Structure 1
């Protein structure tokens, strides 16, 4: 972790700041934050679809005949009077005017805006020498679960497949709650308190239990899942362990004699119990 902090500190110096804490971020540094956040969001779907899927996962997909392609299920509403449903030509992208399309737009817009603002905030903390590196690692580990949540929601609405919708929504909401706390703790001026740590750790424990009982054991340990299912489950497992290990270590390093009270321990156990019951039994 010290090596990471040193590397990032050198990078901060290269982009023009050796300022003390509480330094106001300059205009060109704000532009750097915006451009960097934009590029990260831009590259995520390209890496996912344009590289992993196109080049490695399904490189032998049948090529589309653009000259004779027809989109008979396209309602052509967004094209106005230019085209009518039926024998319409090839489109690089088309969408139908349905409430599912609006919900896909809503979730996508929310994901992009929130992720963009989080990245800007973290880069600003870096410029002000207020970034807590351990929590940055926790945040980075959250990128895959959140991206998967968005992509799953996209496909549920796009395919009209809702069998696992509320189960996934449970993971998405709880992951978001944990990430809110993690982003707050990325600011070194924010105290690492027992309550904040217990929120992050309890949510991750719930994910481990529910995910383990749901898919991980059968698809990974019993080798009943396909390759992408095993990779996906491991991709969820590692962030949950990081969310438990790093916050606990950070807390005990800085606790200054503070211990968890009996009430806090009871709340911790109760949160895990309720979370497992909701995620495992009520939303199946």
Structure 2
């Protein structure tokens, strides 16, 4: 997952230089928002890459929430127009697919990992119920909704 996010990080820093060079400051805050959320997600992915760190629902849902946010925001913004409607140039289509594929994988793979972790936990503790799971799901939905509103304001 981390190696897939390299393109997003590279593009973000290139965009900052480009926005500054072209005096296109309106996109600066929008790009900063996505850069910060990508950094948070990448830090959590690297944290979970260490096998000594436990996989918790809060960590997984933070990564998944950011992925949902990026998928939703890019679907409303550039991906729909450039890729699905075919209105973008070739470089825009490649760029948008390069953003969407890692976000989809950052949605699917952590959920799969979380499911596997819960299955393993169930075999060792068959009657254990994770009562905080529902709270974490609601918190993730609130987190995504709040960040989406912030994203649309910026």
Give the alignment's TM-score, normalised by structure 1: 0.50
41, 61, 67: which is aligned to 1:204?
Answer: 67
Rounded Cα–Cα distance in structure 2 between residues aligned with 1:278 and 1:209: 13
182, 186, 205: which is aligned to 2:45?
Answer: 182
1:264 paired with 2:127, answer no
134, 137, 146: which is aligned to 1:274?
Answer: 146
Rounded Cα–Cα distance in structure 2 between residues aligned with 1:213 and 1:266: 23
Rounded Cα–Cα distance in structure 1 between residues aligned with 2:135 and 2:51: 27
1:229 paired with 2:101, answer no
Residue 268 of structure 1: how far off its partner (Å): 1.1
Residue 261 of structure 1: how far off its partner (Å): 2.4
Rounded Cα–Cα distance in structure 1 between residues aligned with 2:134 and 2:26: 40
The structure number with the bigger radius of gyration is 1
Give the alignment's TM-score, normalised by structure 2: 0.90
Q: Which string of whole-angstrom CA distances, capped at 9 and with x for unpartnered residues, describes residues 152-208 of structure 1?
A: 011111222212111111110000011111111110111111100000000000000
Compare the two structures and name the one with the higher helix fraction. Answer: 2
Residue 262 of structure 1: how far off its partner (Å): 2.2
Matches within 5 A, 1:82-101: none
Rounded Cα–Cα distance in structure 2 between residues aligned with 1:231 and 1:277: 27
**Bigger relative contact order (CA 8 A; separation at least 6):** 2
Partner of 2:29: 166
Rounded Cα–Cα distance in structure 1 between residues aligned with 2:65 and 2:103: 10
Q: How many residues align?
A: 145
Structure 1 stretch 205-214 or stretch 254-263: which is displaced more?
A: 254-263
146, 157, 172: which is aligned to 2:20?
Answer: 157
Rounded Cα–Cα distance in structure 1 between residues aligned with 2:137 and 2:113: 18
Stretches of 4+ moved more than 3 A in 1? 257-260
CA contact (8 A) 2:57 2:133 kept: no
Unaligned ranges ≥5, structure 1: 1-137
RMSD: 1.2
- Is the partner of 1:214 in helix, strand or coil? helix
